[in-house]
Amino acid sequence: MSPKAEAQLEKAEEAVRRANQEFYAAFESLDLPRMEAVWAHDDSVECVQPGWDLLLGWDDVRERWARVFANTSRARVALSAVRLRVEGTTGWVACTARVTTAFPEGFDEAVVQATNIFVLREGRWLLAAHHASVLPIAAEAESTVQ
């Protein structure tokens, strides 16, 4: 790879990393317009969350976040083991997220493994697919809130 191509790839990787961080920051903010700005708004976006079937298409994905935000008082996400790749106008991230959420009736903590796929559209990396699943072993080993 030429030095120029390498610099471009590093720049794209940094942009994908920021887009991934912004996704979780939008989740923490419980602010729907902020979450809307993270995602591509088309019929083929995908969202898989622990214990739920695949959501397909922006309308369903948006509605899910609206419902999650309406039922959540507070959310904190700690990311670790973030790995990312960029290939042309696609970038994908594997990361571990410790998600703590508080509801009117209590709180929940989960450690999930996520695969997030971003596509480059008009200079912005937009989330096209989010697949998160619970890591039972890690969740058990780290069940105490630090």
Write out the residues near its own copies by the rule CB under 8 A.
44, 46, 48, 50-54, 56, 81, 83, 85, 87-90, 92, 94, 96, 113, 115, 117, 119, 128-129, 131-138
Q: Which CB atom, from 38 or from 126, has the smaller least distance to its own copies?
A: 126
Taking 3-state DSSP, the helix, strand and coil percentages for the chain, each rounded to the nearest 5, stand at: 35, 40, 20
Minimum CB distance to its own copies smaller for 30 or for 95: 95
Least Cβ distance, residue 74 to its own copies (angstroms): 26
Backbone dihedral region of 57: left (phi > 0), alpha (psi from -120 to 50 degrees) or beta?
left
Check: CB of residue 116 under 8 Å from CB of residue 32: no
Least distance CB 38 / its own copies (angstroms): 18
For residue 61, give the 3-state DSSP assignment. Answer: helix
With H, G, I as helix, E, B as strand and everything else as coil, classify residue 56: strand
What counts of helices (H) and strands (E) characterise the chain?
4, 6
Q: Of 33 and 88, which has the nearer Cβ to its own copies?
A: 88
Nearer to its own copies, 29 or 90 (CB): 90
The distance of closest approach from Cβ of residue 2 to its own copies in the complex, given in angstroms and rounded to an integer, is 18
